[in-house]
Chains A and B, each alone.
Chain A
Amino acid sequence: MITLNNIHKSYVMGSSKLHVLKGIDLDIEQGEFVSIMGSSGSGKSTLLNILGMLDNYDDGSYHLDNRLIADMSEKKAAQLRNEMVGFVFQSFNLISFKNAMENVALPLYYKGVNRKKRNAIAMEYLEKLGLAPWASHMPNEMSGGQKQRVAIARALISQPKIILADEPTGALDTTTSYEVMEILKEINEAGITVIIVTHEHDIAAMTQKVVRLKDGRIDEIIRNGELKAFRHTYTKELETA
């Protein structure tokens, strides 16, 4: 599904150059539930942005669904994002002057679905996430958890192959965080690849595969079977902290 080969990315900050990703090799299969971890500045968000075609890379190769993602026009990238990827952000990124239903329906607008139809589909998704009563509410009338669920509904509506979530629980309390993770898990069980960036171990522990980044390189990959051990080290890390 996703194949990264020696990905390099650096940002030019004035006169200095910041080498963020220093050769990332990563394979993610269809239907995996992956978390990317790492301390701040380790390049985890950059990696996610490259995966989501929100940003391009300098060197290496990125294949998505056996298609090389490189040097695409903005238009093509936008179209591909619309088809393949659903985004969930830490700060929700809902459009403030649109109500929940309209926010959810927006990706379908760019797919060319007519208004009546896309609003009906949006209602379906809101219902699935238990938000039907809030359909006509504006984002500023909803709680963080509700907003994130609206954002998830929006990510799902275009029936993407991958959900990319950048710190989806970063702005939420523990209970709400777990609820959101539960939703993401259900989505994953429906066959959609879910990739989240997080720095919270308990959140990462709910995924099947943890990719730990350190200074722009993959430090270790912990697989499903090893998660127990991960939980162990994670509690130890907590104790030492």
Chain B
Amino acid sequence: MFDLDKWQEILSTIKKNKMRTFLTGFSVAWGIFMLMILLGSGNGLSNGVAANFMNDAVNAMWIWTGETTIAHQGLKPGRPIQFRNDDYDLIEKLPGVESASGRYFMGNTRYSYENESGEYTTVTCHPELNDVEKMELIEGRFINEVDILQDRKVVVIGKDIHTALFKEKPALGEYVRINNVPFKVVGVCIEPGSTRNRNAYMPVSTAQKVFNGSNRLHNFALTIDGKTLQESQEIEERIRNTFARKHRFDVTDESALGMYNKLENYIQTMRIFQAIKIFIWIIGIGTLIAGIVGVSNIMLIVVKERTKEIGIRKAIGASPASVVGLILLESILITTVAGYIGLVLGTGLMELINYSMVQSAGDAAQQGETVFLNPTVDFGVAVAATLLLVVAGTLAGYIPAKRAASIKPIVALRDE
């Protein structure tokens, strides 16, 4: 196979027919280049959106109460529904629910430390909230089980609160006054995926006791054990049925019990991306076909153009096989090199875009404010596409080359 002399002959032919070489190579390089960009963008977009979803647990679910709108079991519509602590115990044990956190709404809360003060949102919670919302702790710890059991007056504050109240000073172990009640700061956190970190987290049991909450709760944040859309909908259904029975409202009454299922949302978004991916593939395959047609066309012309040369070569002693080999090896060499160039340029450009996106997004990118992430193409796909073009070029060259090599040298020589 490897015959130095043969390759020298091919290289000298390529060198002296630059236009032909360029045209053949260009259609391959362009096809691969476009394919890389298309697939890369698709992957980048899909990765970016997926990453945004990942900031919170994708299997998260939120449940809140409202007023009934449908009469049920003799009860009038317009009746408010209220969660209580026993509802938390109930939902926590429901099959399909992984972890649950209840929240009691406190309204406006004023935080003060020494001379600084400000109004911030207090999220009262169980330790499980961290499974749902995935806070990132800069210092200290999150609320834990003991805090709940002992109704400890502790608080985890957002980074912005820390900056506003404590400036440069450490907050850990200090006491802040929340609506004039001192709470010990046990942690400082940020929320990935958000630029505002103005929430503080407090054990729900403490909040109920200190701020007249009795045993009332307003919403639940859960993570559920459902991999598919159907599973997660089943769990949703189960929760709704359980509460409808307990609080005596119609199961179909959407305003009595509100639910937001992130998994459902995630799966639907991913379905859209699946569709976009298919669409991109269709365009990509179209681009490849255009490349194949381009290469085939050029190979046909090349063979036509070389008919006389083939005649001469045969007259002076070239066998048909050596003529076909010469043309095909030339085409394989050109398409492979060109395909590789297209591959490198395409992935290079995508890397450049990725790099500049990361640079310009800066901090925001780290916090998930990006729609474009890691726009790379599967290496196997890239190689397969290049191979496909090489094979197409070879086939497209083989048929006319074979024909040209089998015609009588005199006929080929007569071809002007």
**Interface size counted on chain B using CB atoms at 8 A:** 26
- Cα(A98)–Cα(B12), bound, Å: 9
Please, which residues of chain B bring their CB within 8 A of the CB of A49? 410
Please, which residues of chain A bring their CB within 8 A of the CB of B318? 78, 110
The smallest beta-carbon distance between A81 and chain B, in angstroms, is 5
In the complex, the answer to whether B319 meets A95 with C-beta atoms within 8 Å is no
Instruction: Check if B107 is an interface residue, CB within 8 A of chain A.
Output: no
Q: A79-B319, A107-B317, A115-B5 are in contact. Are A54 and B409 (CB under 8 A)?
A: yes
Please, which residues of chain B bring their CB within 8 A of the CB of A154? 316
Instruction: Check if B321 is an interface residue, CB within 8 A of chain A.
Output: yes
Please, which residues of chain A bring their CB within 8 A of the CB of B313? 95, 106, 110
The residues in A between 60 and 113 inclusive whose CB is less than 8 angstroms from any CB of B are 74-75, 78-79, 81-83, 87, 89, 93-98, 102, 106-107, 109-112
Instruction: Check if A158 is an interface residue, CB within 8 A of chain B.
Output: yes
In the complex, the answer to whether B319 meets A75 with C-beta atoms within 8 Å is yes
Please, which residues of chain A bring their CB within 8 A of the CB of B315? 52, 54, 81, 87, 93
- Cα(A52)–Cα(B408), bound, Å: 12
When C-beta atoms are compared, the residue in chain A nearest to B409 turns out to be A54
- Cα(A49)–Cα(B5), bound, Å: 30
Contact string against A for B residues 384-416, beta-carbon threshold 8 Å, 1 for contact and 0 otherwise: 000000000000000000000010111001000
The smallest beta-carbon distance between A239 and chain B, in angstroms, is 35
The residues in B between 314 and 333 inclusive whose CB is less than 8 angstroms from any CB of A are 314-322
Interface residues, chain A, with chain B CB atoms under 8 Å away: 49, 52, 54-55, 74-75, 78-79, 81-83, 87, 89, 93-98, 102, 106-107, 109-112, 114-115, 154, 158
- Cα(A111)–Cα(B313), bound, Å: 12
Q: Report the stretch among B110-118, B275-283, B304-312 that lies at the interface.
A: B304-312
- Cα(A106)–Cα(B310), bound, Å: 12
Please, which residues of chain B bring their CB within 8 A of the CB of A93? 308, 311-312, 315, 413
Please, which residues of chain A bring their CB within 8 A of the CB of B5? 109, 112, 114-115
- Cα(A102)–Cα(B313), bound, Å: 12
Interface residues, chain B, with chain A CB atoms under 8 Å away: 5, 8-9, 12-13, 16-17, 308-309, 311-322, 406, 408-410, 413
Q: A102-B12, A109-B9 are in contact. Are A81 and B408 (CB under 8 A)?
A: no
Q: A89-B413, A95-B309 are in contact. Are A55 and B408 (CB under 8 A)?
A: yes
**DSSP majority for the B interface?**
helix
The smallest beta-carbon distance between B8 and chain A, in angstroms, is 6
The smallest beta-carbon distance between B327 and chain A, in angstroms, is 14
Please, which residues of chain B bring their CB within 8 A of the CB of A82? 316-317
In the complex, the answer to whether A111 meets B317 with C-beta atoms within 8 Å is yes
When C-beta atoms are compared, the residue in chain A nearest to B406 turns out to be A74
The CB with the most chain A CB atoms within 10 A, among B316, B320, B413, is that of B316
Q: A54-B408, A102-B12, A115-B5 are in contact. Are A75 and B320 (CB under 8 A)?
A: yes
CB-contact partner of A106 in B8, B316, B409, under 8 A: B316
The smallest beta-carbon distance between B405 and chain A, in angstroms, is 8
- Cα(A117)–Cα(B318), bound, Å: 19
The smallest beta-carbon distance between B4 and chain A, in angstroms, is 8
The CB with the most chain A CB atoms within 10 A, among B5, B16, B318, is that of B318
In the complex, the answer to whether A97 meets B8 with C-beta atoms within 8 Å is no
- Cα(A78)–Cα(B412), bound, Å: 14
The smallest beta-carbon distance between A194 and chain B, in angstroms, is 17
When C-beta atoms are compared, the residue in chain A nearest to B317 turns out to be A82
Task: Known pairs A158-B316, A158-B317; list 9 more (Cβ under 8 Å).
Answer: A54-B409, A79-B319, A81-B315, A83-B317, A94-B312, A95-B313, A102-B12, A107-B317, A110-B322
